[in-house]
Chain A
Amino acid sequence: MPPKKVNAEGSPAEDQSRLRRKRSHLEVEASPEDVDATAPAKRRRGSVNSLHQNVESGASESINGTSNQNGTSDSGEHSEPGLEIAPQEPTTTPRKRGRPPKAASQGNTPTPKAKRQRAFQTPTKGLVADDSTPRRQAGADRSARRKSARALIEQVVGDGDSDDQDDEDALAREIYESSEGEADDEIFQSAKSSKEQAGEDGLAGSATEQPAVTPTKRRARKKARSPTPPRDLPPHELYFAQNKPGRPKTSNNTLASVDLLTHDEYFKILNEREEKHHGDIQYLESLHAESFPQWAFELAEGFSLCLYGYGSKRHLLQKFAKHLHSSSSKGKLRKIVMVNGYASTMTMREILSTVAVAVDPKRRIPTTQPAAMVQNILAHLSTTNIVLTIIVNSIDAVPLRKLGHQSVLAQLASHPQVGLACSADTPDFSLLWDIGLRSAFNFTFHDCTTFSPFTVELNVVDDVHELLGRKAHRVNGREGVAFVLRSLPDNAKNLFQLIVGEILIAMEEEASDGDEVGVEYRMLYNKSVEEFICSSEMAFRTLLKEFHDHQIITSRKDALGTELLSVPFRKDELEAILEDLTA
């Protein structure tokens, strides 16, 4: 983005590192609105501003002369006049800078007294104007410093929405302080005099002390800038509307207040609960079951079956297997092999050896490469008159998604004595097969939406926690750790305390940038030796292994190859654990 370069060059380069941080900050913050900020702002400028000028008293003009910047950074409705009157404001500037990301932050900007009063005087009009020019203040954000100021104020006013705000605030403060008196507005307009800035800084500074103004305005702003796009957009427009570059506008709420489910509780409630649509689901399944003879016919004619649609089809396939079994009892020898694709321990060898057992329980085939095993099995199958049916639950489950697995299955399915029936759970299953595999499978697809819950296929609690990035609930968090440590010797406890302490320190220092923080293995060892937790690396390893076994620590290698130890808990949990340990 070219504007950013200008930005960097224009700023005084006293502190390179800080500058870099600032830049990255800017890039993140500024880019989002680029696309949509400019056009509407220009279009609507005229009418809105004339309105405001009428409303406004001369007081605003006196301010505008000197503190054009401040005026613009005011909340939406009041920023217009300042912008409009200042003659040196080029209309193109909005493109260079975006609106800051947080809607809320806009409301808490430094506001001179005169303007503040106006805010209360003309609330209705202001609201209208605000609605019609949602992009207006995009042009108003002039500098990172101002943004920082705003962020700081918001911090004071909104009393810190969440923890993750902390590092941002630190950054904002840093930027704000560092650019005190600095001519950062030259970023765009080198022609602007530094005199203006001096005044501006003063104003901004004073504004921090008067945050009480904002709440009402803030609410109005929020309403106006709802992130909800207009209804009934065509799908492609919706995609772009929802994928605007830059920071998504989501709230900072977290699930901290919600007590997450544990496995025990999940199953307890599950067992107590009566499924609401149970009868309907049963009925739907029975409808599908009416096609069993048809499916059996298709299978017999050399097609493979693929059942897709929402809901678990495991039970349906099981019934189908029973149907096949009962209907072919006379004459033909039918063997049915069930494969659970969702089983995480799945290997192709295991499937193939089961198939081999089904074909001939007495014959042992060597477990070699799957391809060779398939050849072996099929060659043997051709010599018998067995009709083999392979039923695969969730053929598109993660463990089965590898191309190699699919081609082995296809090879099996293309044998005339083998029928394959499978279920596919995701909407994208057809991407699994290229044209070669597809013609080997020779699929017929059936919509089998069942709506039955994935009771077996999914490990609901773990899946959700993983989705939320909280893997540690495997050992039930804090209680689990306490439980594990209780059964371990004292120095294990001490070691864990050491690790937790170190990691908390590291978290404080690094102000977590998304990755898990870790402590170096070597460093930890040295410390533990210092604290007489262990005397040799051997003993140290033994202790760590115990933790590993209970999954209460994780280890990984960083880019340089140094081993980092970490704990799969979040900060608040770690603090709690540490408290428990020291108590």
Chain B
Amino acid sequence: MTKNNEPGQAFSQEDHQVAYVFDPNEEENRQQHASKRRRVSKQIKAATTNAEPASPSFVSLFNGVEKIEFVQAREELFRESWERVDSRIQNALRESNSATLDEVAAFVSEAQAESYDKIPSVFIRTGSNIASQNLLFEQLSDCLQGSTSSKFVRLRSSEVTTLKSTLKRIIQDVTRRDIEDEEEDEIQPHTKHLDYDLEALRAFIKPEACDHVFVAFEDSEGFDSTLLSDLIPLLNSWRPRIPFTLLFGIATSVELLQARLLKTACQQIYGAQFDAVQTDAILEAIFKIAVSASDVPLRLGSPLLKSMLDRQRDQMAGIQAFISSLKYAYMCHFYANPLSSLMGSPLQPQLQPEHIESIRNTHSFRNHVERLIDSDDAGELSNAQSLLENDTSLADQIEGAMKEKQRWVNGLLRSLLIAVASGAVDGDFSTLYCRAMVEGIDESEVTEQVRRMDVPKLLAFIRQVLSIFQIGEPTVNLSPYEGDDDLFFELALKKLQDGIESLGKLAQEKSITLRSKYMGQTKVMRTTVIAQRVQLSRDSAALSDEDKQYTDYVDELTKLLQRHVTVLPVSHIFLSECWTYDSMSPARDVFVPRPRATFERSLTRPHDYLSCSCCKDNGGGIQSTLPATSILYQLYLETGSLVNVADLWTAFLDIVGEEEGDERKVLLLFYRGMAELRTLGFVKSSKKKVDHIAKLKWL
């Protein structure tokens, strides 16, 4: 309780309590004699609760007319799809570190035997991202404790500062876990140890035949070097009695750590260095399976993905942040997009008219219908008409359209993989994917590359393409081809492959090198384009029969590729709105807030928020009706680094005086505004002059 609980004030006791358990029923009773404000809030609450019981967490869309089945369907779909993706991500995370974990475990077990006068230590280079270290150490803890009977203590530099507190912490961590297990009957009254006496630890682990006691320094750079230099010899000296093993998480390099330690401490270390998988690699793996994989339920739009990736690279946000943004995108999609319910199983209840109407309003629908009309086919035309006019025929086509999704995704991935195989594009898969999503894939680049290939390269390329079609790509869960079109493609490819192979053999027997007309005389192709063109025309004259045949093969291949390596932009796929999410706005604001801008706006233009009748900005300076803090803030913007409160008060009184009437009331507003400015961190008191305050912020 603070002292300003003046009589006559309607402060409830809880307002000044540090913490309390919230119980609205009790509160209701207490505030029976409620003020006006309470009543208003109750009404609002009633309004929200009326809409609420429909679904525990999702709200009904279409202004509340969406049927409860659809709401539930969306929620179920969300849970289902996210769980699928999430479990994949967790798997990937676990796998990503598994190599490191195994190595560490192997080292630990052998180091135990090899070093008897030195303390075994593991140095794990984790990279600079503290956020991802957490996961690694969690896994280490699980892995090491699982494989051997051992104890694991995790220390962070912020939690322990002195030798004593470190020891206390180690002992507490080791012993506490067991106290919980065995319901606190573990306390041994006969041995009274100080809480930082390692003897207590020894007594504790003795009956358990513990192989290791791991002490992990998660952020070794953060620890005081003298603390480490003291601790290492101490723990080493206890090693005959307690089998300590140290783990250091290192963001920079082992050398730097060594330089910080005393030589005597370093000499007692028997260590090995391990490199944890860097965040980039993990990110790439997660991206592949959770964003771009062919069976991922929700496709994310390119701008959103790009911003998520940029955030990873520019702001070092950590893999966890990426996963959160991904999850948030799923949440937004299923929470706010009524069409997302169409993604569910075909056994749906009858669509509401609102669904049909909103489908007709989608971009992809319009594209679809326009394409049908443009095709000049009478059947297509009537189809377009029925789509526009007949609700049931539209509903019938939805299912087919949803299948289109999978075809499109597979086509995109295959094309992308072919482009990668041809060497037409390079870079991270994630970047390529983002680009392909927005620009599609430029088949001319691919053909260009293919034309320049010599026989072995071309054969290798064809093999790769064939495998993409026949086997798929496991890293992105791409299945083998399906459908006749692809079958035809495969057969044609195989024929080509055979032809080129035999041609290659023939050439080998004749010991000539095959050239297509697209290849220059020299193998060094990377001269200027103009030079090549000039040379090409001369070359073609000199082509042998084999070369001509080879050229034909290459032409055929490029023709095939051109037909297959094309990707429509996602907005051309009918009903793509159901399974894509590409809105930037909530994600950006929700994860990267811009509080300064928000404050600036709310204080300079309160009307934007309040939309009150009185404060509409008419460009005529500061209005007297603005909230006090807002007026003061705008005056404050004009001041220098030191503000005379007396002058500020005069100015304030000038502005507000007429509006308020009574000077004391104005003074109250002034007080309030000043106190708020202070709390917001805009001003602080200054001793330079009497009644002056210092300005702290320049926006």
Partner of B158, one of A403, A439, A467: A403
Question: In the assembly, what is the distance between CA of A309 and CA of B48, in Å?
Answer: 23
Question: In the assembly, what is the distance between CA of A459 and CA of B590, in Å?
Answer: 31
- Chain A, residues 424-459, CB within 8 Å of chain B (1/0): the string is 111111100011101110111111010101111111
Partner of A339, one of B18, B643, B678, B692: B18
Question: In the assembly, what is the distance between CA of A228 and CA of B690, in Å?
Answer: 21
Assess whether B159 is in contact with A303, with CB atoms less than 8 Å apart. Answer: no
Report A369 CB to chain B, min CB distance, Å.
Answer: 8
Segment of A72-80, A175-183, A354-362, A479-487 engaged in the interface with chain B: A354-362
Indicate if B602 sits at the interface (CB-CB under 8 A).
yes
- Chain A, residues 281-294, CB within 8 Å of chain B (1/0): the string is 11110100110111
Indicate if A250 sits at the interface (CB-CB under 8 A).
yes
Residues of B with C-beta under 8 A to A279: 612
Assess whether B2 is in contact with A258, with CB atoms less than 8 Å apart. Answer: no
With A253-B647, A263-B4: A301-B331 Cβ-Cβ less than 8 Å:
yes
Assess whether B19 is in contact with A267, with CB atoms less than 8 Å apart. Answer: no
With A255-B646, A427-B680, A439-B131: A261-B668 Cβ-Cβ less than 8 Å:
yes
Report B182 CB to chain A, min CB distance, Å.
Answer: 13
Assess whether A309 is in contact with B317, with CB atoms less than 8 Å apart. Answer: no
Indicate if A60 sits at the interface (CB-CB under 8 A).
no
Indicate if A36 sits at the interface (CB-CB under 8 A).
no
Assess whether A451 is in contact with B321, with CB atoms less than 8 Å apart. Answer: no
Indicate if A40 sits at the interface (CB-CB under 8 A).
no
Report B612 CB to chain A, min CB distance, Å.
Answer: 4
Assess whether A293 is in contact with B176, with CB atoms less than 8 Å apart. Answer: no
Segment of B498-506, B523-531, B669-677 engaged in the interface with chain A: B669-677
Assess whether A439 is in contact with B318, with CB atoms less than 8 Å apart. Answer: yes
Question: In the assembly, what is the distance between CA of A273 and CA of B665, in Å?
Answer: 8
Indicate if A3 sits at the interface (CB-CB under 8 A).
no
Assess whether A255 is in contact with B19, with CB atoms less than 8 Å apart. Answer: no
Q: What is the number of residues of chain B that contact chain A, defined by CB distance less than 8 Å?
A: 108
Indicate if B210 sits at the interface (CB-CB under 8 A).
no
A residues 315-330 touching B (CB-CB < 8 Å): 315, 319, 321-323, 325-328
Closest B-chain residue to A440, C-beta based? B134
Question: In the assembly, what is the distance between CA of A339 and CA of B14, in Å?
Answer: 10
Report A372 CB to chain B, min CB distance, Å.
Answer: 6
With A254-B646, A372-B172, A444-B590: A319-B698 Cβ-Cβ less than 8 Å:
no
Report A326 CB to chain B, min CB distance, Å.
Answer: 6
Indicate if B644 sits at the interface (CB-CB under 8 A).
yes
Question: In the assembly, what is the distance between CA of A298 and CA of B647, in Å?
Answer: 47
Indicate if B6 sits at the interface (CB-CB under 8 A).
yes
Assess whether A345 is in contact with B671, with CB atoms less than 8 Å apart. Answer: no
Indicate if B664 sits at the interface (CB-CB under 8 A).
yes
Indicate if A297 sits at the interface (CB-CB under 8 A).
yes
Assess whether A238 is in contact with B589, with CB atoms less than 8 Å apart. Answer: no
Question: In the assembly, what is the distance between CA of A391 and CA of B159, in Å?
Answer: 25
Residues of A with C-beta under 8 A to B611: 280, 283
Assess whether B176 is in contact with A454, with CB atoms less than 8 Å apart. Answer: no
Closest A-chain residue to B180, C-beta based? A379
Indicate if A367 sits at the interface (CB-CB under 8 A).
no
Residues of A with C-beta under 8 A to B316: 435
B residues 479-502 touching A (CB-CB < 8 Å): none
Residues of A with C-beta under 8 A to B590: 444-446
Residues of B with C-beta under 8 A to A454: 675-676, 679
Closest A-chain residue to B131, C-beta based? A439
Indicate if B695 sits at the interface (CB-CB under 8 A).
yes
Assess whether A336 is in contact with B680, with CB atoms less than 8 Å apart. Answer: no
Assess whether A242 is in contact with B639, with CB atoms less than 8 Å apart. Answer: yes
Assess whether B2 is in contact with A464, with CB atoms less than 8 Å apart. Answer: no
Question: In the assembly, what is the distance between CA of A462 and CA of B627, in Å?
Answer: 21
Closest A-chain residue to B51, C-beta based? A293
Question: In the assembly, what is the distance between CA of A163 and CA of B646, in Å?
Answer: 14
Question: In the assembly, what is the distance between CA of A430 and CA of B675, in Å?
Answer: 21
Question: In the assembly, what is the distance between CA of A298 and CA of B320, in Å?
Answer: 16
Question: In the assembly, what is the distance between CA of A459 and CA of B603, in Å?
Answer: 21
Partner of A309, one of B15, B22, B40, B599: B599
Assess whether A442 is in contact with B320, with CB atoms less than 8 Å apart. Answer: yes
- Which one of B9, B52, B593 has the greatest number of beta carbons of chain A within 10 Å? B593
Residues of A with C-beta under 8 A to B697: 427
Assess whether A321 is in contact with B320, with CB atoms less than 8 Å apart. Answer: no
Assess whether B317 is in contact with A464, with CB atoms less than 8 Å apart. Answer: no
Closest B-chain residue to A331, C-beta based? B56
Assess whether B24 is in contact with A325, with CB atoms less than 8 Å apart. Answer: yes
Assess whether B671 is in contact with A242, with CB atoms less than 8 Å apart. Answer: no
Indicate if B681 sits at the interface (CB-CB under 8 A).
yes
Assess whether B131 is in contact with A438, with CB atoms less than 8 Å apart. Answer: yes
Report B176 CB to chain A, min CB distance, Å.
Answer: 7
Question: In the assembly, what is the distance between CA of A205 and CA of B664, in Å?
Answer: 48
Indicate if B693 sits at the interface (CB-CB under 8 A).
yes
Assess whether A404 is in contact with B327, with CB atoms less than 8 Å apart. Answer: no
Q: How big is the A interface, by class? A: 35 or more
Report A216 CB to chain B, min CB distance, Å.
Answer: 24
Question: In the assembly, what is the distance between CA of A454 and CA of B6, in Å?
Answer: 16
Question: In the assembly, what is the distance between CA of A335 and CA of B19, in Å?
Answer: 13
Assess whether A458 is in contact with B59, with CB atoms less than 8 Å apart. Answer: no
Indicate if A266 sits at the interface (CB-CB under 8 A).
yes
Indicate if B685 sits at the interface (CB-CB under 8 A).
yes
Assess whether B691 is in contact with A254, with CB atoms less than 8 Å apart. Answer: yes
Residues of A with C-beta under 8 A to B518: none
Partner of A456, one of B11, B129, B172, B609: B11
Assess whether A458 is in contact with B676, with CB atoms less than 8 Å apart. Answer: yes
Residues of A with C-beta under 8 A to B320: 439, 442
With A340-B16, A467-B684: A286-B45 Cβ-Cβ less than 8 Å:
no
Closest B-chain residue to A239, C-beta based? B698
A residues 100-153 touching B (CB-CB < 8 Å): none
Assess whether A463 is in contact with B678, with CB atoms less than 8 Å apart. Answer: yes
Question: In the assembly, what is the distance between CA of A315 and CA of B15, in Å?
Answer: 10
Assess whether B625 is in contact with A451, with CB atoms less than 8 Å apart. Answer: no
Indicate if A338 sits at the interface (CB-CB under 8 A).
yes
With A253-B647, A255-B645: A164-B689 Cβ-Cβ less than 8 Å:
yes
- Chain A, residues 229-240, CB within 8 Å of chain B (1/0): the string is 000000100110
Indicate if A466 sits at the interface (CB-CB under 8 A).
yes
Question: In the assembly, what is the distance between CA of A343 and CA of B328, in Å?
Answer: 33
Partner of A461, one of B324, B650, B671: B671
Assess whether B684 is in contact with A338, with CB atoms less than 8 Å apart. Answer: no
Indicate if A1 sits at the interface (CB-CB under 8 A).
no
Question: In the assembly, what is the distance between CA of A447 and CA of B611, in Å?
Answer: 16
B residues 278-330 touching A (CB-CB < 8 Å): 316-318, 320-321, 324, 327-328
Residues of B with C-beta under 8 A to A163: 690
Closest B-chain residue to A292, C-beta based? B48
Residues of A with C-beta under 8 A to B650: 253
Closest A-chain residue to B331, C-beta based? A301
Question: In the assembly, what is the distance between CA of A154 and CA of B268, in Å?
Answer: 76
Question: In the assembly, what is the distance between CA of A347 and CA of B644, in Å?
Answer: 36
A residues 499-543 touching B (CB-CB < 8 Å): 514
Partner of B589, one of A343, A357, A445: A445
Assess whether B56 is in contact with A281, with CB atoms less than 8 Å apart. Answer: no
With A250-B692, A255-B646: A456-B16 Cβ-Cβ less than 8 Å:
yes
Question: In the assembly, what is the distance between CA of A260 and CA of B614, in Å?
Answer: 29
Partner of A253, one of B9, B603, B646, B681: B646
- Which one of B645, B646, B683 has the greatest number of beta carbons of chain A within 10 Å? B646
Indicate if B429 sits at the interface (CB-CB under 8 A).
no
Assess whether A319 is in contact with B45, with CB atoms less than 8 Å apart. Answer: yes
Residues of A with C-beta under 8 A to B58: 293, 297
9 additional A-B residue pairs with CB within 8 Å, beyond A239-B698, A242-B695, A354-B19: A251-B644, A277-B627, A289-B44, A292-B48, A293-B57, A300-B57, A407-B158, A438-B321, A459-B4
What are 22 A-B residue pairs whose CB atoms fall within 8 Å in the complex?
Answer: A235-B698, A242-B698, A253-B644, A254-B646, A254-B691, A255-B649, A269-B664, A276-B625, A309-B602, A323-B48, A325-B24, A327-B52, A346-B18, A350-B18, A354-B20, A436-B134, A444-B328, A451-B602, A451-B609, A459-B2, A463-B674, A463-B675
9 residue pairs, one from A and one from B, having the closest CB atoms? A248-B642, A445-B593, A336-B22, A354-B19, A439-B131, A253-B646, A463-B675, A280-B610, A250-B644
